[in-house]
Amino acid sequence: MAKTAKPDVRPQNTHFSSGPCSKRPGWTLDALSDAPLGRSHRAKVGKTKLQQAIDLTREILEVPADYRIGIVPASDTGALEMALWSLLGERGVDMLAWESFGAGWVTDVVKQLKLKDVRRIEAGYGELPDLTTVDFDRDVVFTWNGTTSGVRVPNADFIPADRKGLTICDATSAAFAQNLDFAKLDVVTFSWQKVLGGEGAHGVIILSPRAVERLLTYTPAWPLPKIFRMTSGGKLSEGIFKGETINTPSMLCVEDYIDALLWARKIGGLKALIARADANTKVITDFVAANDWIANLAVKPETASNTSVCLRIVDKDVEALDADGQAGFAKGVVTLLEKEGVAYDIGAYRDAPSGLRIWAGATIEAADMEKLMPWLSWAFETQKATLSQVAA
């Protein structure tokens, strides 16, 4: 039997998934009532909405005026692939990876683009690779925040201002929750479905003047699919960065993104969004410090994520199990919480070490995070009691 009595208070919002993520507080379908449904995205009303989304993105993320922002197909994956296929190959590339999505970009560059001059700079789950070994005379591809490992770069100090190569950053679980140093970043990509809880299928790509220069002066050796093309006739397709999307966007999803951005502006912009994520993460960090059965997957506190918080179960009896047993135990904890209607979708990512992954981004209320913590203890102890019964 669990030592902790079953809590009698549940979080009001039980959506702690790391993507798609929780909607903003107070969200209802009424927020989408102004969406121009049944209208062409190429009509004035559609272009105006798309331009508003771009302008608000620039405002809230504090993107420099000379950087271009485009709305593109296929979520963050589409945006990042667009950058890889359009920009790489001009020089050697350093690929940084410390979790599954970063490893996926390595696979794409090596096996799909088949680039020869590729250096892999990798680390296991929970750690960052040695950033001092990165050569910024080469292009560099990395994730700012490892969504599946809960490990992030603490800042952009490792990137020199006088670099010769481009820095291409997958920031999908960092944008709107962490300070992105755009002066050090040439390409930034993200999806709406993460920190702002938008609907899926759309990505955002942000290009520095240096990235634009590469587009205009370098032609890849491989053919580019239409949805990856950002130039035409040797000139930048400026329309992409003014709301003229490459393919047909969902105006319903655009309206939802605009609503999230307006909410972000209302609460105080980027500073307020970061503060909310930090407050949510502190609740988890304090809980971990007070309970010896659970630990952050991130080895160093300064690299621990404030959005996709990844946790491992370090109870000695659980760690004595084989890998399948440990995974089964963690799944049992997650299943208990879902059956109680307390927290949904908080299991570790399928390629990551077994454990929990709790979304702590800005759309989560700290009060709900606080209500979740006693349930974690109850679910762990209940599962542990089941383990003991099986052993007996």
Coil/strand/helix, residue 250:
coil
Residue type, 370: E
Q: Would residue 10 count as lying in a domain?
A: no
Write the CATH number for 360.
Answer: 3.90.1150.10
The conformation of residue 109, written as its DSSP 8-state character, comes to I
Between CA 43 and CA 153 the distance in angstroms is 41
Q: What is the pLDDT of residues 304-315, one digit of tens each?
A: 999 999 999 999
69 and 165 inside one domain:
yes
Q: Would residue 5 count as lying in a domain?
A: no
Q: Would residue 23 count as lying in a domain?
A: no
Q: What does the pLDDT average to over 334-338?
A: 98
- Whole-number pLDDT of residue 387: 83
Q: What is the pLDDT of residues 116-127, one digit of tens each?
A: 999 999 999 999
Q: Would residue 47 count as lying in a domain?
A: yes
216 and 279 inside one domain:
no
Distances (CA, A) of 278 to 24, 284, 285, 350: 16, 10, 10, 26
Q: Would residue 20 count as lying in a domain?
A: no
State residue 232 phi and psi, 5-degree precision.
-150, 125
211 and 297 inside one domain:
no
Domain end, chosen from 265, 290, 322, is at 265
163 and 198 inside one domain:
yes
Question: Residue 221: pLDDT band by 50, 70, 90 thresholds?
Answer: very high
Indicate the number of domains in the chain.
2
Domain end, chosen from 245, 265, 285, is at 265
pTM greater than 0.95 (yes/no): yes
| pLDDT at position 352 over 80 | yes
DSSP assignment of 140-197, as one string? EEEESEETTTTEE-S-STTS-TT-SS-EEEE-TTTTTTS---GGG-SEEEEETTSTT-
Is beta strand 202-207 parallel, antiparallel or unpaired with respect to 187-191?
antiparallel
Lookup: tokens for 27:
């969200």
Report the percent of the chain where pLDDT is more than 70: 98
Distances (CA, A) of 82 to 201, 220, 246, 256: 15, 12, 12, 24
| pLDDT at position 389 over 90 | no
307 and 199 inside one domain:
no
| pLDDT at position 1 over 60 | no
Report the percent of the chain where pLDDT is more than 90: 96
373 and 307 inside one domain:
yes
Residue from 138, 80, 85, 89 nearest 115 by CA: 89
User: What is the pLDDT of the chain when averaged over all its residues?
Assistant: 96
Lookup: tokens for 2:
């669990």
Question: Residue 136: pLDDT band by 50, 70, 90 thresholds?
Answer: very high
Residue from 300, 261, 301, 267 nearest 281 by CA: 301
- Whole-number pLDDT of residue 390: 65
Write the CATH number for 122.
Answer: 3.40.640.10
Q: What does the pLDDT average to over 297-307?
A: 98
171 and 63 inside one domain:
yes
Residue from 278, 253, 256, 295 nearest 361 by CA: 278
Question: Residue 391: pLDDT band by 50, 70, 90 thresholds?
Answer: low
Q: Which domain holds residue 377?
A: 269-391
- Whole-number pLDDT of residue 4: 77
Domain end, chosen from 221, 237, 265, is at 265
- Whole-number pLDDT of residue 392: 54
Q: What is the pLDDT of residues 4-20, one digit of tens each?
A: 799 999 999 999 999 99
Q: What does the pLDDT average to over 61-72?
A: 98
- Whole-number pLDDT of residue 300: 98
183 and 88 inside one domain:
yes
- Whole-number pLDDT of residue 78: 96
119 and 169 inside one domain:
yes
94 and 216 inside one domain:
yes
| pLDDT at position 218 over 80 | yes
235 and 351 inside one domain:
no
| pLDDT at position 84 over 80 | yes
45 and 182 inside one domain:
yes
